[in-house]
A and B are shown apart, each in its own frame.
Chain A
């Protein structure tokens, strides 16, 4: 069977290489931060730094955003981060939102799962879009901040001299080679990280034998956006097939190879096209289709032991490889970027000790272990690593239609926001809270009305958290207590990004300044808050601490402790 390939319905703009002003072969400027790798993670780090007014140089080996079949699922948590980076609109306009999925065993539906979604949410639990879209929207936002983000396309790192006081990168471009001096390096240069290799570091963990063929096709179909999993389908007996819808009539199909199947043979169009055709026939998809891209995938569960190595911080696939099942790859990288950006910005600005960067490693390594524990379970189900996992999976699937108690074992355990429960930055609760996000957690979303000069607008709780430390002050009258206003003034005068926002259970049309009205009453209740309660957020939106009757000293001490973070 033969079918002509089509290109992805996307044309990437090409960028020329550019060599900066040099003196004796060295960039005349010494840079604060150099980001190696301009994928989603590197772009997110650059945008996060820019939010704090910190300049960065972004080194990208290619001449455009990426190509091929890569990440396609962006989580609600990632969307929250992307909103703070100023790039959300494109994601929501182009991305396909979805809330759940279905799994089939042979011809029977055995699981219909949904991700957390209710009327309190601002953003969908997941959107699908291609990685070239993801990178393009982040790049668009970065290009608007050209005074802070200096992108150097077609530039490769030849070597790095990493020292206690900075690093020197030897770079090569089609227009000539040069050296660059930098205080800090963020290595977001992907799974085959040049920087990681140059520093002699190795990822450790488990590589799985099960292989999947990943095919992107173009197909017109009205089928809704959801995750479809077919176990032992009649179209491809003995195999497992995943189907995801992407924008612009692109569909992602992943199917498992049988043991002993030759990978080089398996990715040949002559072998792929009939399998896709037979899958589409089974699904009842009768529209014309064309292959776009074929590749092969093996699941890895690997990580560096630490993500900070003196002046070099690793992020995204350069730091860890998590299995695709559960969509934690790009999403965990965006979380890395969100975590490192504010910490590095405050260190560069001289507002925090460089030990704050150790907490980046502590928090994100712990997050990776959580991601890997879920990702490993998904992988053991999707690509059984032994006869026993295979046998037990058959038992689960064949029982699931009539025995709901086993269905949770089929659930793909999709990515969800991670709590930094053991973070050295957390302020342990002094007071007892019956509910609400614990220190290290992200905000639980609820609607609010933001009231300013008597006018209200509908918003959500996460809208109150900017790229700053934010004190959510629960009040009676919608006015910030004078002592907190004084504190906010003093902290900002010292250069620290800090905001204090009063929340009130009631509308106060005449209140001075801005306040958030908990018009549903749910926030006071679900955060176990009363007037006087404060939840203090970090610039990445995680709760740093919370107090029943907060004093300004509590807030000041919590921030001071974070900025001088020591991990003892």
Chain B
């Protein structure tokens, strides 16, 4: 039975690490937002796995708190963020004449 928890923990850790790559490298804010959402969901999975492994019920409250806070955070980022439509402008200033369009 212990191997099941170890395999789950290893898979969740790998998921966290490779999601962190998209969070750091994502070209736009929306990519980072999606990566952060996945990050929180994987964290919730890890907390649930910990509760199932250790029979420790004090962590279950943080699951509900994380579900609510990630929703509020994602919606407010999607609502109030600055549009990143300057990717093409950055490319234009890199041209030889240096004049932005």
A and B are partners in one complex rather than unrelated chains: no
Residues of A within 8 A of B (CB): none
Q: Which residues of B contact A (CB under 8 A)?
A: none
